[in-house]
Structure 1
Amino acid sequence: MRGFAEEHPGLCEVVSIGKSREGREILLAEITNQGTGPASEKPAFWVDGNTHAGEVTGSMAALYLIQTLLKRHGEDDLVTSLLDRGTFYVLPRLSPDGAERYLTTPHTLRASTRPWPEPEEEAGLHPEDLDGDGHIVQMRVQDREGEWRVSREDPRLMVPRRPDESDPEVTYYRVYREGLFKDYDGFERKIARPLYGLDMNRQYPYGWREDHEQQGAGPYPLSEPESRAQVEALLARRNVFSLHTYHTFCGAILRPFSDKEDGKMPEHDLAVFKALGERGTEITGYPNISVYHDFRYAPNEVITGAFDDWAYSAYGVFAYTVEFWSMAGAAGVEVEDFIAFFRDPPEEASLAMLRWNDEALGGEGFVDWKPFDHPQLGRVEIGGWKTKFTFQNPPPEFLEAECEKLARFALAHASCAPRIEAELEVESLAGGLRRVEVRVRNTGYLPTNVTKISQDKGVTKPVKAEITLPEGASFVSGEAETDLGHLAGRSALAGNSWKSPAFFAGLPSDYAARALWVLRGDGPIRVEVRSEKAGTVRLEG
């Protein structure tokens, strides 16, 4: 990260926004052409990754975006314009402790290395690399009452036993995660909860619920130094107008809300979420979907405490959770219901993924079943998917293609920033008076308030024009600072429910405003037009 700043001193600065629970720095890159103005005075796009420890593709994609911006500035017209007129804030790794454990051990974990909800391991099965091959896969144990059997199509695949199935010629199995039972009594086989059960993406201050209602939420909102540092960094950068948060794995673009239906969202915001999401689908091939309607883990349950919900509802920006990579998609399997597919993939889909593993990876993604003498269970077999870089993250040879198309989506979304432009007119009047007028327009797609929910809650300050007089000059009419309100963007059309070309009646000129002053006295005047999300313009006359 710091190497980027050293190689591109006029474009990139890297700062630490805090430290993880284990003391690792959480680094943020600030990318803009510093020669055209400071980062804080330009509309900004935020990207972060690796909220969940094992979703390391997010880190790589964020770094890829940084590299794309820095290398293409001055060569690519779009990138050059975005950095000359805007800012990117990129935080590649929010969970450095968890990622370190994920990448340097056979273990997986959800986010932080903080034990939660219990301080020590519970009694029951805990994952371990028993055979020392560097992977934690699965164990199968022969049992005539077992729930599983071997697929008739591929001996590597385990499939559920049918409800009425009882064939004396078939071997049935119990299937477990590869590991050891803590406090095993030789009879009861408990499945312990993970030691590291905290979920960073369930503990933001939006609809936060305690752990018994929302698993992984932690003891209180933003209890973790990583999530708190992220939110504080975002709140300190009021110029951010939109964000992408990078996760894995299903190949989808997710939008708020997680806990309520689309009808609860302002019409403008829902229309823009859909329009921007559809642009993302055109670029990436990923479907754009609502978490509430299309990505709930159970029909009668909702997700709370998610970062994108907080960023939209409380911070007031358009926020997407981008779920990178779909091994099923790579294998040619069409998935309509993501959660149902994760819970119980059809046998044909599982067979297709095994074939893809054989053809694309040379079989490296799957460990063939082999006998093993388990110290507690006796004779077992160990085998199964190496899930880290098949299911959860793309294999290395597929990584760049994923990063490249999501970088293009980020650039397209960043191009939709609200952007103020202004012109100043000074007219001499009789009696030593002058009439000063500044006309301000929003030339961007998004309004200067960005979202309707931001405007309703008063989250984003209105556009203001401030005039500075020369010594000896005075106001005849007007005040030093004029509130121009918020200026609409082209998204006003998306938020209008009547868009038929045959009947469209037009939109008001809410994209423009002006300030007027009458002054007495000579000398140069300066006008500054400020918008939190749409930038700052300075004029002299």
Structure 2
Amino acid sequence: MRDLEGAQMWWCYRGSSILRSSIVGVTMVFLMVVSVDAQRFEEFVDFEPTEEQFDFDRWPYRLPEAVNARLQELAEQYPEIVRAHHIGNSREGRKLLMMEITNFETGDGESKPGLWIEAGVHPNETPGPVYLEYFIERTLAMYGVDPAVRRILDTRTFYVVTDLNPDSRQLALTSHPAWPGYKEEEQPGADLNGDGYITQMRWKENPAEEEYQYLPEGRLVDEDWHMDPLGYVWRSSSDTGWEIKDRERDWTGRREQPDYNRNFGAEWVSEDPGAGEFPFSLPEIYAVAKEMTDRKNIFFMYDIHAGGVGREWMIRPLSNQPYQAMHHEDNDFYKRIEAAWSVLSPGDQTFSDYYTPAGTGATIGGLPPDWGYLHQGIYGFGGEVGGSGIDYDGSGEVTPEELERWHVEEMDGQFAEPWMPYDHPQLGAIEIGGYRVSPTGPFPPSIGDIMRIRTDRSFRYLMYVASLAPEVRIIDLMSTENADGTFTVNANVGNDGWISTYVTQRALEISGSSNVAGPGASLNIRARDFPAMVDISVDGGEIVEGEVPQNIGHLVGKFTYIRQWADEGQEVPSKMATWVVRPDGSGAVSVEVRVSAHKAGNDVQTLKLR
């Protein structure tokens, strides 16, 4: 098993400089966690998928219909550990499937702590759904082979939506030059140099500058429409517009497509580009939010994006508020798992959009992880994944220059071409080359050896987070016979997990009120305080004292306990439930005691009184 020790210092010096000061204060606490309870990564059995299971070199990727067909096959192949749920349809009528993955023989999915994982928010971020296809295939295939996977699926549940925006994915994939039937004449721009593809143009407005200006080949600088890096089209002819900054050009126009990353209810702002008519107005977002809200066992969500080239990074809540707006205990948890991410992904960062150089925090609203934290009271990340190219210089990241070199030298120009000089009638001396583009922007698809490394890394990290879930346990079940012939039964209940049963302090603050109009308003805020309950049943007697069931409140996890009482050296806090049982007669008497909490699973023990 692999220790996390030292992760904190690595993260501090390799991560974002903005966060260094905020994390140093928990360094010793983090190391104490490691030494006190040996919190470590699991060792997993290597996964060598068949071509049917997963092909690291597949491009183009499978279309949504083919992916859904494969998911249905897996549900039929592994009925004991996965079920495919049809949770809704896209705007164009495509099915949204949610895969529920757990060992159903050890209990229903909702009886165990749950993790929600989704991808496909933005049309140009095609690798994200493929990462989740890998996660599903590996988890299912290795359940009977890998003891670590078995332990997690026996006690945890994963809810996986591989693609919550299948309509845009269909367009993005079928519009790429690698797709069979691609027609250059149907794409924006023009093939100026006659090589059969639309690539890119680049030039420097000032030869002394290091930065190039880019446009798709054949596009004009002053055209009345523009495509942003996410693949959304903006037009300047609209009376209503939002400003967008793209490289060195200010563009004002109306974006035609909704942004699935702005339609969740938390901090929703109608003026944000693509925010939608009201929160959850998009059918795909409504379906996802409803499933998450109805399933009270979910304690973590992971929303996968594909930021492009170079490093992968994690975006944590809150996106439009400073860290001080979050309770210190919740911030402390993020610092710990950020450190863990730095071990698995050396050099990669974790940060909040609030602290981006552009200062966009004041305008970002409606993001999934923010909604998960503010309205569901759970932890979550937005992961920006990549997965192609070669780190030629060993710097820890794949730069755009290295990615282009990989395309040309290693992939035989399949996805990009060398830059060649060209005399443009409007721009003058430019170069044409780089990535072959589609209407949804340049594609360096996630394929090859780096994708193999990064999908494995993502799998291990999600399994690590799953291992942190709260776990209620009956530590001891005892009885004492009283002078009047009754028995006093005591159940000492504790939390074996790293996370507290309430998960976040935010969950304890949510009031359950909502003031946002629209059909999706009922999903905005519901009370999320789910305490631990202890129940008892008697065979051969009856309860004469003690509530049934008993609400014992919450049980703190190891993270919280060590953070607050590290110098006391006591056991993890526990609580006692007590009843008095009166036998029916002179026969045998036994009790069964069950403790449960929505986000912390359950435990059952029996005791013979006589």
Shorter-chain TM-score category? 0.7 to 0.9
Give 5+ residue unaligned stretches, structure 1: 109-125, 141-156, 166-172, 182-186, 342-348, 499-503
Q: Partner residue of 1:354?
A: 404
Contact 2:486-2:583 within 8 A present in 1 as well: yes
- Equivalent residues of 2:387, 2:454 under 8 A apart: no
Residue in 2 that maps onto 1:506: 568
Instruction: Give the drift of 1:164.
Output: 10
Counterpart selection for 1:403 from 455, 477, 485? 455
Return the alpha-carbon distance in structure 2 between the equivalents of residues 453 and 300 of structure 1. 20
Distance in 1, Cα, partners of 2:146 & 2:206: 57
- The residue that corresponds to 1:428 in the other structure is 481
Aligned match for 2:275, one of 186, 207, 217: 217
Q: Residue 118 of structure 1 aligns with which residue?
A: none
Q: Tell me the amino acid that sits aligned with residue 504 of structure 2.
A: T
Shift of 1:43: 1.0
User: What is the rounded CA distance, in whole Å, between the counterparts of 2:209 and 2:314 in structure 1?
Assistant: 40
TM-fit CA distance, 1:87: 1.2
Match of 2:223 among 189, 196, 220: 189
Range with bigger deviation, 318-327 or 389-398: 389-398
Identity of aligned residues (%): 28
Report the equivalent of 2:467: 415
Q: CA deviation at 1:243?
A: 2.0
For the pair 1:231 / 2:301, whether they are aligned, the reply is no
> Which residue matches 1:86?
156
Query: How many Å separate the matches in 1 of 2:335 and 2:547?
Result: 41
For the 8 Å contact 2:320–2:354, the answer to whether it is kept is: no
Residues 156-167 of structure 1: pairs in structure 2 closer than 5 A: 158-162=203-207
Give SS of 1:487's match: coil
SS, match of residue 432 in structure 1:
coil
After superposition, the Cα gap between the structure-2 partners of 1:494 and 1:527, relative to the gap in structure 1 and judged at 3 Å, is closer
**Residue 127 of structure 1 contacts residue 178 of structure 1 at CA under 8 Å; is this kept in 2?**
no
8 Å Cα contact 1:12/1:29 also seen in 2: yes
Once the two structures are superposed, what CA deviation does each residue of 1:240-290 show, in whole Å capped at 9, x if it has no partner?
111211111251011111001112111111111111121112112353422
Q: Structure 2 vs 1, CA of residues 133 and 406 (structure 1 numbering), >3 Å: closer, same or farther?
A: farther
Q: Please state if 1:38 is matched with 2:77.
A: no
Q: Secondary structure at the match of 1:516?
A: strand
> Is 1:533 paired with 2:567?
no
* Pick aligned residue for 1:445 from 498, 501, 515: 498
Q: What residue in structure 1 maps to residue 542 of structure 2? A: 473
Evaluate the alpha carbon distance shift between residue 91 and residue 13 of structure 1 in structure 2; reply closer, same or farther with a 3 A threshold.
same
Cα pair 1:357 1:364 within 8 Å, conserved: yes
Q: TM-score, normalized by length of structure 1? A: 0.78
**Are the counterparts in 1 of residues 407 and 417 from structure 2 also a CA contact under 8 Å?**
no
Q: Give distance in 1, aligned partners of 2:452 and 2:140.
A: 17
- Give the secondary-structure state (helix, strand or coil) at the position aligned to 1:53: coil
Cα 1:276–1:300, aligned 2, differ >3 Å: closer, same or farther? closer
Could you state the TM-score of these two structures normalised by the residue count of structure 2?
Answer: 0.70
Q: Residues 432, 102 of structure 1: CA spacing in aligned structure 2 closer, same or farther, 3 A cutoff?
A: same
Q: Secondary structure at the match of 1:449?
A: coil
> 2:68 maps to which residue?
none
Paired with 1:274 and 1:485, the residues of 2 have a C-alpha distance of 26
Deviations 1:61-117 (A, max 9, x none): 111111121122132221110011111111111111111111112399xxxxxxxxx
Corresponding residue of 2:73: 3
Q: Do 2:390 and 2:402's aligned partners in 1 also have CA atoms closer than 8 Å?
A: no
SS in 2 for 1:431: coil
Q: Which residue of 1 aligns with 2:554?
A: 486
CA distance in 2, matches of 1:383, 1:452: 52
Match of 1:22 among 77, 86, 92: 92
Deviation at 1:402, TM superposition (A): 1.7
**What is the SS of the residue equivalent to 2:84?**
strand
Q: Give the counterpart letter for 1:460 in structure 2.
A: D
More displaced stretch, 295-304 vs 90-99: 295-304
Shift of 1:159: 3.2
Q: Distance in 1 between matches of 2:209 and 2:548?
A: 82
Matched residue SS, 1:314: helix
Task: Decide whether the 8 Å contact of 1:53 with 1:95 is kept in 2.
Answer: yes
* In structure 1, distance between residues paired with 2:164 and 2:447: 22
Deviations 1:110-148 (A, max 9, x none): xxxxxxxxxxxxxxxx9626449886533x5xxxxxxxx
